[in-house]
Amino acid sequence: MTRIDFYILPETTLEARLGFACRLAETIARKGYRLHLHAEDEAMARELDDKLWTFRPDAYLPHALLGSDQAETVPVTLGWQEPPPGDAGVQAMLNLHPAIPEWFSRFERVAEIINQHQDVLTAKRECWQTYKKRGYPVTPHHLRAGG
């Protein structure tokens, strides 16, 4: 059964949310998981693509947008519509979309990132309740400022 982790940030900005997404993606990839970042839309996916190049000056996290030539060979893919192909071996998803994609259960792990922006809080409360109603194990991780 898919394990769900909610990372709850004290900050309110999209910048903080995407910055944490980059750090979490690096941690997940370092543990050997193939990861898909599911963005809200193309603009967010492209912003994440840029941030993954620059979030740390001393590291590089190989990544690619779904549909690109590199998407099958990198540990991290980015998208906003369809899931990665079923045979791609992707084990984890970081969901930055307000809703839960209907294909979330194909992953071993799903991470949801919440910041203190009212729209995000409202959307992710609904996601939390949906996962719980369906019987998925949900674990909250409350992070401190700067964490």
Element (H, E) at 43: helix 42-54
pTM for this entry? 0.93
Report pLDDT for 116.
Answer: 95
Report pLDDT for 21.
Answer: 96
Report pLDDT for 145.
Answer: 75
Distance (Å, whole) CA 90 – CA 83: 10
Report pLDDT for 85.
Answer: 85
Report pLDDT for 125.
Answer: 97
Domains of the chain, start order: 3-142 (3.40.50.10110)
Report pLDDT for 104.
Answer: 96
Radius of gyration of the chain (CA): 14
Distance (Å, whole) CA 84 – CA 72: 9
Distance (Å, whole) CA 131 – CA 102: 12
Distance (Å, whole) CA 140 – CA 1: 17
Q: Where are any strands of DSSP class E within the chain?
A: 3-8, 35-38, 63-65, 76-79, 92-95, 109-114, 138-142
pLDDT by 10s per residue, the chain, length 147:
999 999 999 999 999 999 999 999 999 999 999 999 999 999 999 999 999 998 988 878 999 999 999 998 999 999 999 898 877 789 999 999 999 999 999 999 999 999 999 999 999 999 999 999 999 999 999 998 765
Residue 72's Cβ-count burial label (10 Å; 0-12, 13-18, 19+) is middle
Report pLDDT for 87.
Answer: 76
Report pLDDT for 88.
Answer: 76
